Amino acid sequence: MENILEIKDLTIQYRADNRVVEAVNKLNLTLGKGESLGLVGETGAGKTTTALGIMGLIPDPPGIVTGGEILFEGEDLLKQNKKKMRSIRGKKISMIFQDPMTSLNPVMTVGSQIAESIRIHEKCSKADAAVKAVRMLELVGIPGERYGEYPHQFSGGMKQRVVIAIALSCNPELLLADEPTTALDVTIQAQVLDLIVKLKKENQTSMILITHDLGIVAEVCDKVAIMYAGEIVEYGNLEQIYNHTCHPYTKGLFGSIPDLDSHVKRLNPIPGLMPDPADLPAGCSFCPRCACTCSRCQSENPDMTEVEPGHFVKCFQIGKEEEHV
């Protein structure tokens, strides 16, 4: 399968008050055309920063991309000027931001906000943009006659549908969905996810879904990347990650999920906290929280190891069990 996105050794830092926050550290990632990738990890892992890096929206200052490549359809986005990025952003690559409450302009009608994106990228008249904006509203389940209403007149779920309509209005080739259901109740979550999947299939859009919820990933995605302290620590397809889990952090994530079939009094959380990104450990970032750490983990950062075709793990302990059999 041809790749639409390749990220190579991406490094992003935030510099302020004589501190260097290492948000993303030599991250490598690939996404095929039409594929959906779930990017999973704790708060502060660098998931949103990665998405903003792809969009060219890292705030500068204090953020700075210090190395790596982001190849979209063979072109390095990091080498494009601002005018070129504006033509790509919204047209070829779109993002559904995490909080619909702050993603919409409160003094513009929702219809005009959708139409604005269409007019910028498709160079059409106001009337044609308005017609397509109404169609996009109806496509996401909002009556077209609400075109002239303002964001405060919509519920949280409806606002999120408007944000989705804006993101998909120009039929992007890559969609970045940053926790699109976090602020919604369970019923609306299901509706919004079904809508995203439906529109993605219709338009053959590739997608990176940023989430904390492994259940959502299992329903929506083809591949999974587990992120910790700015690095991908495990990557593979659904069957590999869910049924052949290798990295201790990934095992900890699955272990902390409630199991309806097990009679236990407490969940099994991962001990400790994610390290301060301004003071990362010298070796493996997960070492201070890992139950199977060794002296090598404390001084060296492991490379990615391919444990089976397409399944990569960043851990020194992989394969040790077989060696002792």
Q: Does 128 share its domain with 267?
A: no
256 and 205, same domain (yes or no): yes
Cβ proximity of 195 and 161 under 8 Å: yes
Q: How confident is the model at residue 324 (pLDDT cuts 50, 70, 90)?
A: very low
Question: In this structure, are 144 and 181 located in the same domain?
Answer: no
Amino acid 116: pLDDT: 93
Looking at 142, 171, 200, the residue that finishes a domain is 171
Number of domains into which the chain is organized: 2
Question: What pLDDT, in 10s, does the model give residues 17-50?
Answer: 889 999 999 999 999 999 999 999 988 899 999 9
Q: Which residues pair with 10 in a beta bridge?
A: 27
Q: Which residues pair with 95 in a beta bridge?
A: 176
Secondary structure of residue 12 in the 3-state scheme: strand
- 207 and 162 fall within a common domain: no
Q: Is 254 inside a domain boundary?
A: yes
For the chain, give the percent of residues with pLDDT over 70: 97
Q: Domain for residue 114, yes or no?
A: yes
**Do 85 and 219 lie in a common domain?**
yes
Name the domain boundary from 171, 188, 219: 171
Residue 325 has what pLDDT? 35
Does residue 40 belong to any structural domain of this protein? yes
For 183-202, what is the HEC assignment? CCCHHHHHHHHHHHHHHHHH
pLDDT reading at 57 higher than 80? yes
Q: Are residues 137 and 33 in the same domain?
A: no
Domain around 146: 103-171
Q: Would residue 246 count as lying in a domain?
A: yes
324 is a domain residue: no
36 and 113 co-located in one domain:
no
Looking at the fold, whether 227 and 151 belong to one and the same domain comes out as no
Predicted local confidence at residue 320, as pLDDT: 60
Segment 205-241, tens digit of pLDDT: 899 999 988 988 998 899 999 999 999 999 999 999 9
Q: Is 287 inside any structural domain?
A: no
Q: In terms of DSSP H, where are the helices of the chain?
A: 47-55, 82-88, 100-103, 110-122, 126-139, 156-168, 186-203, 214-220, 238-243, 248-255, 295-299, 320-323
Of 171-175, 279-283, 317-321, minimum mean pLDDT range = 317-321
In a domain, 281, yes or no: no
109 and 38 inside one domain: no
Q: Where are the alpha helices (DSSP H) in 56-90?
A: 82-88
Tell me what the mean pLDDT of segment 188-204 comes to: 82
Say if residue 179's pLDDT is above 50. yes
Q: Are residues 257 and 179 in the same domain?
A: yes
Average pLDDT, the chain: 89
Co-location of 182 and 131 in the same domain: no
pLDDT for res 197 = 85
Are the beta carbons of 211 and 51 closer than 8 angstroms? no
Same domain, 108 and 142: yes
pLDDT at 322 over 50: no
Assign residue 230 the CATH number of its domain. 3.40.50.300
Instruction: Decide which of 171, 193, 222 is a domain's last residue.
Output: 171
Average pLDDT over residues 76-105: 90
Written as six digits, the tokens of 20 are: 């260097």
Query: Is the CB of residue 242 less than 8 Å from the CB of residue 40?
Result: no
Residue 228: per-residue pLDDT: 95
Q: Among 164, 150, 36, 155, which Cα is nearest to 97's?
A: 164
Is the pLDDT at 262 greater than 80? The verdict is: no
Whether residue 65 is contained in a domain is answered as yes
Residue 319: pLDDT band (50, 70, 90) is low
